[in-house]
Amino acid sequence: MAEDLNIHAGTKEEQYQSLLPQIKGLLSGEPDLIANLANICAALKEQFNWLWVGFYIVKNNELVLGPFQGPVACTRIQKGRGVCGTSWQQAATLIVPDVEKFPGHIACSSLSKSEIVVPLIRNGMVVAVLDVDSNLLNQFDATDQYYLEQVIAAIEMY
């Protein structure tokens, strides 16, 4: 697929519906996980202009910063710590409308106000998490969860 994205300006759902096949096209035939994660970050950041989009990869029983788009970030996160570590521990998507109200929130950026974290699970184990931060409160909802989980499912196909 060409590396240019077709940025769609409709509703959130329409934006995801336009972007998802483009992300799948970027992943098609590319076996390198890091390259795929990097392109997913770029595509999501370009389409939605969120504050931060990135992956943390499980290495040696901690989350280690992987490909991302946005301000510099925390490098390592322990299991069960913050939103990312809790998503990893629970193997579940977490939507946090106000990060200041999340117990144990790790403030990698003071600009972050809301967050969604989606685990990438292979063979029953979390191997990475997709972390998305917004500078707006209550940015993420069930629509984001549905489509970001589809993005994660597309990664698992390769």
Neighbouring residues of 76: CB distance < 8 A, sequence distance ≥ 6: 62, 63, 64, 65
pLDDT in tens, 65-109: 999 999 999 999 999 999 999 999 999 999 999 999 998 777 777
Cα separation, 86 vs 19, whole angstroms: 28
Domain count within the chain: 1
**Domain with 128 in it: what CATH number?**
3.30.450.40
Which value, to the nearest 10 degrees, does the dihedral of the CA atoms of residues 99, 90, 59, 43 take? -60
Looking at the domain assignment, is residue 125 inside a domain?
A: yes
**What is the residue whose two structure tokens read 């970001």?**
148
Looking at the domain assignment, is residue 42 inside a domain?
A: yes
Positive or negative: CA dihedral 132, 137, 142, 144: negative
Looking at the domain assignment, is residue 54 inside a domain?
A: yes
Looking at the domain assignment, is residue 55 inside a domain?
A: yes
Looking at the domain assignment, is residue 79 inside a domain?
A: yes
pLDDT in tens, 106-147: 777 788 999 999 999 999 999 999 999 999 999 999 999 999
Question: Which residues span the domain enclosing 149?
Answer: 12-156
